[in-house]
Every structure is written in structure tokens, then in C-alpha cells.
Structure 1
Amino acid sequence: MSIAISTNTSTSTAIEWFYACNVNDVPNNGGVCVKYDDVQIALFRFARRDAWYATQNLCPHRQQMALSRGMTGTHNGEPKVACPFHKKTFSLEDGRCLSDDTECSLTTYPVKVEGDQVYIGIMQEA
């Protein structure tokens, strides 16, 4: 299943949705790691908001696959995840670092739930 998204008149991208897991496979207010080809994606179930988020699993500081084990919460009302190693926090909405002026950010992915199945979207050039 793909949804076309026009970025400008000369190029477009499409979201390719892949099945990640069942809703009950992800703990409330926690995360799991999902693999898509060679990419590890951290999938979060933010039950307090009835929302789902996905980011890269790779911590940009330690370069370790750990963000899916991070703590979720909010920062000024914005959903966030804190790295389990150094506690730097990142927005689950857009991936930017919320802890300091660090230039690093996370890649984020769209998530949708259909019934009890969770899908993550990967951008593909159309």
C-alpha cells in the first residue's frame, strides 16, 4: 500500500507502509525495535496520548542501537524519548534534540494503526 506525497512539481515521494507488529506487542508508554531490511526503527506507543511514533533506533551520540529502550515522556507538552545511556531527549514528533543546543536529530517515520496491526511508513522516490 502506498500513498503519494507531492514535494514539488518535478519530483514526488511515496510512503511505502510495512507491517511492523501487532498493537499488543508494544508496551504502553514504551518502545520496541523493528527491523526493516538493514534499518532498525524504534517504535513507541504513547498510550497517554493514544499516539504512535517511530524514529531511528541508533543513538546519535553513542552510536548504539538503544533508543527503543529509552524512557518516554513529555517536554513542554511535546512527546519525547530519552536515550537510556546519556538521557539526552529527542522529540518524537520531529526528531530534534530537546536537551541542549546539539546539532543532532533523529530520523522519524510515519506510523498508522489498522485494527490491531501497526504499520511504519518508509519514504520512497516515486
Structure 2
Amino acid sequence: MIELMMVLLLMTVIISICGSFMYKSLQFKEERVFKQQLSQDLLDAQLTALTSGEYVTLYFYPHTSHYYISKGSGSKEKYIAKRELPDSIEILDTTTLPSFKFLPSGSTNTFGALRFLVNGDPYTVHYYLGKGRFYIAEGS
């Protein structure tokens, strides 16, 4: 009986250690997937504007944690993509760029920063006027 209790204790310790590693691994994966998805969406939006010759607009909604990508303008605007962000990712209200457009030339109509919290860590996407250049920086 004592041997059985020792085996159960050992298994409990191993499972608890593995559980904490799995949680951290899932957080890291979620962070990596978010950054890759956002980068890919920005590049796809720019490419869509270049190839279609139409405006492509990105809308970021901090309170509902999602963003939209739409093509065209006015009554002919149609949504290309909608991304819901996981609970661990938050768009901050200090974002200076809640929406912006890619012009048919691939440039942007404005510049600024998108600020996110990913698992409690700040990330900023800096966007520059002209040619649609951006980069993602860890920290604020």
C-alpha cells in the first residue's frame, strides 16, 4: 500500500510540473500566432490594395478586441476578414491608429502606433506614412 501511495505521489508531482510547462507553452504559442497573423493581415491588406487598385481599410476595436479588414469605400465597401482576439490579447485604448487605409498605390493615408497587451506584455506596431512600412516592437 505504501508503494502505491509513493507512485501516486510521484505521478502527481510529474503531472503538476508538466502542467505548468504546458501553460507557458500555450501562452508563447498564442503570442507567436498573434504576431504572425497580424503581420500577415497587414501585408495581405497592402497587397490587396495594390492588386485590386482599391482602398483597403483596417479597423481596430479596443473594447470588443477584434479588427476588420475591408476593401473599397462608401457603399461598395465589403469585408475581407474579421479577426477575434483571444482573451489574453488586448488592444489598448492608447492606440493612436484605430483605423487606417492602404491606398491603391500600397501607401498608407496616415501613421501611428497600434498598442496591444499580449499575456500582460506590451507590444506596439509602428506604422509609417508612405510605402506601408511597419514593424512590431516588444515593449511600449
Q: Look at both structures and tell me which one has the larger radius of gyration over its CA atoms.
A: 2
Q: TM-score, normalised by structure 2?
A: 0.25
Q: TM-score, normalised by structure 1?
A: 0.27
Q: Which has the higher helix share?
A: 2
Q: Which has the higher strand share?
A: 1
